[in-house]
Amino acid sequence: MTRTWRTSSHSGNVNCVQVSLTTADALVRDSKNTSGPSLRFTPKAWRALVTRMP
């Protein structure tokens, strides 16, 4: 499966994280190292994370 990655518009494209969302999971990676590792969150864990961010 090909994933679509997004970067926050608040980041200014510098020192960012990217996120790829599907119905099965959310992956987060470093935008400066796109071939490096990513963090995987279940949909429930992703919602919990983003709803607690300022």
* 3-state DSSP assignment of residue 8: coil
HSE-CB for 29 with a 13 A CA cutoff:
15
Strands (E), the chain: 6-7, 17-21, 26-30, 38-41
Which tokens go with 44?
A: 């429930």
**What pLDDT score does 25 carry?**
97
**What pLDDT score does 15 carry?**
74
What's the rounded mean pLDDT across residues 2-21? Answer: 85
Q: Cα separation of 27 and 19, whole Å?
A: 6
Does residue 10 register a pLDDT over 80? Answer: no
| Cross-strand bridge partners of residue 7 | 18
Q: pLDDT digits over 13-44, tens only?
A: 677 889 999 999 999 999 889 999 999 999 99
